[in-house]
Amino acid sequence: MKWPLDHRVRLIAGLSRFRRVASARDGRGLVRPTPITLAMVASVWLGAFAVAQDGDSDKYREAWQRGEYLTALNLLDKLIEPDDNYIPRGLLKDRAELRLITGKLEESIADYKALGERYDEVEGLVLLAEVYKYAGRKEEFDKTLVEAQRRSDYWFRYADRRDVMSSPEELLFRGLIAEMRGDDPKNILTGIYKILMEQVPGFAPAFVASGNLALSKGSFATAAGYFEGALALDPNDQEALAGLVKCYWQSRDERLEKTLDTLAKLNPNHPGGLAVRAEMLLDAGKSNEVHELTKKVFAFNSANAEFLALNAAAYFLEDKQTEMEETQKRALDVNPSCSIVFRLPGRIASRHYRFKEGSELQHKALAINPDDHEARAQLGLDLLRLGDDEAGRQELTAAFEADRYNVQVFNSLNVLDSLDKFKSISRGSFTLQFPAAEEPIIARSALDLLDDAATLLQAKYNMTMETPVRVQIFDNHDDFMVRSVGLPGSSGHLGICFGKLVTMDSPSARPKGSSDWHSVLWHEFTHVITLQKTKNRMPRWLSEGISVFEEKQRNTGWGMNLDPNYKKLLDESGLPGVADLELYFTQPKTPGHLMLGYFLAGEFVKHYVAAYGQAALVVSLDRMGAGEAALDSLAASANTSARQMDQAFQDYLKKRLEALEYLEPFAAALQQAVQAAKAQNWIEAETAYRKAYELFPEYEGPSNPLIGLAEVYEATGKNNELRETLHGSLGLHTANLDAWRKLASLYEQMADWAALEKAAIGAAAVDPFDSDLCRLLLRAQRQLGVHDKALDTVERLLAIDTTHAPEYRLARIELLMKRERWDEAKQHAVRLLEDTPNYWEAQEHLLTLVEQTEAHAVN
Ligand SMILES: [Zn+2]
């Protein structure tokens, strides 16, 4: 039996519209609406309010709809005589639900019990079972569910299509019972809810129930479709709006704000809408506002488990351990197995990259409720991010057994299987995992870069990192995403760091030449340093800012440049203050805003270090690690105030963004240059390109002035200027394979082998699979006499270019001979001749080698 406790309120709330129809029937003493047509069912349904009750009952219903739950309950109580032994069914049911919403659990149970006893229908029992589940009273839940099932079976045995059409709610409850039993969601959807939606298309609760079921399995687009179906029947359906809000939030749909507003206008206290608002605030680290928001719910229900959990999460972010525990206790007093008060704050901890604390909270959730498979799934994902793949796999497997529809869990287990086939190399502080076939292409280069980064950045940030740091490189982008976040897609992500684990795409998983994977690795490794140093207690924007900053420090062609597209975004928002930076990451309006966030965060760090010194930055990270707020730490370490720091940053930005004021003359100059180049009017083209470059030197788009200038110099044979321009272009942005090719070819012509080697190595960070550039590298290294490096390059060539294998194998023999590794050379020569017996160069080498080894044997 599955036991997801916190779904309870949602389900009950989801039934409220249905309940009103039942009340309507009940109030009029009807058992069934007699003329059975679809249209009639729909109109009875939608007209429930109108036919149902007199003026007084309208009042409590209206208050209820506005979210004034306590007022509604008071008004309802006035309709019931204190010594009334026979409360009308509709009023009794409404009172039970309002009592539940307002946290009067025992009274609500008493009402539902009365309902179940008085009427031989399934409804009261289903609702009672739900309340028992919410209260963690498992035995009573089981018993009630069995009884509900029995009654539903009885109805179902004799029900035909007409019965379904006249009493769609009976079938709906059958679906809810199946959900509570933990039946296969696919069967519930196709076998029950879909039939209802087709047969009784005006019955909104079937759409809402389908939406909730799909939502609970993570199928957000499908769920949104069902909720929209319900809203087509009634645009003010609060449960459908609340469901839609959750879908939009989970899938980062831009319609979220509008839908939240619609719901808030109808009912400013709707728990579904408020919960999503609170989650958004928690993501943004605005814990203060979460406390304010949860007060709204506590005003009518001080024991609402979900809101206590949200409140506890806010305390977690504030490092207020005692307050968090007190809040958790309030929920546990009502329900000792209320695991959401640990699971939810744990999930928030992990969203803030504090996986260790997140996993500890999931352990606590599971200790009081071992059936909480959501907590188990989250624990599994946390463990993977902590680098403990084996323990993570165990938890995920168990979570999968309990819920085979959790997409994240399913995907993660699949990727763990493919990781088993990866090759793993441990060297120094690092363990590198990657597809075995890519070893000669990326392994050495990655480990060398990581060693460099570790030496440099540990010293610079005054810290010793926890090792081993695990780096996983995937040749399949979806695998990388699943490994990192549990879901495929998001082609914008290149790498992700979790503190002790870095995951990233191999260049083979990206479009050829589209990014510099060394820059990605440098960026992610910088996160290892800053996240570990602060024990993951730093805002995302600052961690990104330092990573972008360190990229540019290492190579000016890495990191972020000023982009003309930022102008529109900044014109709309105005210059951001330091406190605004986090929102670019936690709730970016568009992918463009996210990119702008990276740029601005990087610029903040650059400015901060220039203005207050690297030491101030390092000290501020120490303070954050000790629990101080980020802005306070930054200001205090710089001996300034937050306000002054903000002002200085904005002053810096004004200057830094100056080029954005020249976009029009820049575009005009660029256009003039392109036209002149087309007409082969090289002098005019050169002048215009230079002017464009001066106006906006950082533009790195595909038709940037430096690329244009290079074309001009190429056409006019000005090789010195061409080389300089190509270097300039690559110094702005390294992921330009064409520029690397031209540069390499120039150095080859000049026989400048050292420069050629450098260029070919730079190119390999953009595309290590390019065999032409790799052959040039081999040539340079052989000329330079760096035989060991050349041997590595031969291995890379053999991995990426099988058509020329004999040629590379010969080169390997020759290089081994240069290194006087005679035996290895001889073995390779024999093997080469076995495969290609007539390869005379190989024959000659073998002869030499035989003589050589015999001479050695004599000596
Ligand atoms: Zn990053």
Q: Tell me which amino acid residue 855 is.
A: A
Closest CA to 173 of 129, 137, 133: 129
pLDDT of 342 strictly over 50:
yes
Of 1 and 337, the structure prediction assigns the larger pLDDT to 337
Q: How far is ligand 1, taken at its centre, from the CA of residue 598, in Å?
A: 8
User: What three-state secondary structure class fits 433?
Assistant: strand
Cα 742 from Cα 726, distance rounded (Å): 8
Q: How far is ligand 1, taken at its centre, from the CA of residue 805, in Å?
A: 39
Of 169 and 41, the structure prediction assigns the larger pLDDT to 169
Q: Could you give the C-alpha distances from 370 to 141, 302, 377, in angstroms and in order?
A: 17, 26, 12
Cα 471 from Cα 495, distance rounded (Å): 10
Q: How far is ligand 1, taken at its centre, from the CA of residue 41, in Å?
A: 55
Strand partners, 473: 504
Indicate the pTM of the whole model.
0.79
Dig out the tokens for 247 from the structure: 């879908």
| Range of lowest pLDDT (119-123, 389-393, 804-808) | 119-123
Dig out the tokens for 42 from the structure: 């729909």
pLDDT digits (tens, 9 = 90+) for 688-700: 999 999 999 999 9
* Mean pLDDT estimate for the chain: 88
pLDDT of 376 strictly over 70:
yes
**Residue 279 CB neighbours (<10 A):** 20
Q: How far is ligand 1, taken at its centre, from the CA of residue 491, in Å?
A: 15
User: What three-state secondary structure class fits 135?
Assistant: helix
Q: How far is ligand 1, taken at its centre, from the CA of residue 565, in Å?
A: 21
Q: DSSP assignment, residue 424?
A: E
pLDDT of residue 456: 98
Cα 406 from Cα 122, distance rounded (Å): 30
Q: How far is ligand 1, taken at its centre, from the CA of residue 501, in Å?
A: 13
Q: Exposed (0-12), middle (13-18) or buried (19+): which is 821, by Cβ within 10 Å?
A: middle
Q: How far is ligand 1, taken at its centre, from the CA of residue 587, in Å?
A: 16
pLDDT of residue 32: 27
**Residue 848 CB neighbours (<10 A):** 16
Q: Where are the alpha helices (DSSP H) in 299-339?
A: 305-317, 321-334
Q: How far is ligand 1, taken at its centre, from the CA of residue 44, in Å?
A: 56
Q: How far is ligand 1, taken at its centre, from the CA of residue 515, in Å?
A: 15
Q: How far is ligand 1, taken at its centre, from the CA of residue 84, in Å?
A: 66
The mean pLDDT value for 487-500 works out to: 78
Q: How far is ligand 1, taken at its centre, from the CA of residue 540, in Å?
A: 8
pLDDT of residue 24: 32
pLDDT digits (tens, 9 = 90+) for 195-212: 999 989 999 999 999 999
- Binned at pLDDT 50, 70 and 90, residue 703 comes out as confident
Q: How far is ligand 1, taken at its centre, from the CA of residue 221, in Å?
A: 28
pLDDT of 6 strictly over 50:
no
pLDDT of residue 34: 26
Q: How far is ligand 1, taken at its centre, from the CA of residue 393, in Å?
A: 26
pLDDT of residue 26: 32
Of 757 and 587, the structure prediction assigns the larger pLDDT to 757
The mean pLDDT value for 325-336 works out to: 94
pLDDT of 486 strictly over 80:
no
Q: How far is ligand 1, taken at its centre, from the CA of residue 525, in Å?
A: 9
Q: How far is ligand 1, taken at its centre, from the CA of residue 591, in Å?
A: 15
- Binned at pLDDT 50, 70 and 90, residue 54 comes out as low
Q: Exposed (0-12), middle (13-18) or buried (19+): which is 682, by Cβ within 10 Å?
A: middle
Cα 114 from Cα 588, distance rounded (Å): 51
Q: How far is ligand 1, taken at its centre, from the CA of residue 536, in Å?
A: 13
Q: How far is ligand 1, taken at its centre, from the CA of residue 560, in Å?
A: 12
The mean pLDDT value for 301-326 works out to: 95
Q: Tell me which amino acid residue 25 is.
A: R
Signed CA dihedral, 103, 104, 105, 108: sign only: negative
Q: How far is ligand 1, taken at its centre, from the CA of residue 542, in Å?
A: 10
pLDDT digits (tens, 9 = 90+) for 503-517: 999 988 888 888 899
The mean pLDDT value for 748-755 works out to: 96
Q: How far is ligand 1, taken at its centre, from the CA of residue 544, in Å?
A: 5
- Binned at pLDDT 50, 70 and 90, residue 489 comes out as low
Cβ atoms of residues 371 and 402 within 8 Å? yes
Q: How far is ligand 1, taken at its centre, from the CA of residue 166, in Å?
A: 57
The mean pLDDT value for 615-636 works out to: 96
Cα 856 from Cα 138, distance rounded (Å): 83
pLDDT of residue 327: 96
pLDDT of residue 482: 79
Angle at CA 224, nearest 5°, toward 221 and 227?
160
pLDDT of residue 55: 66
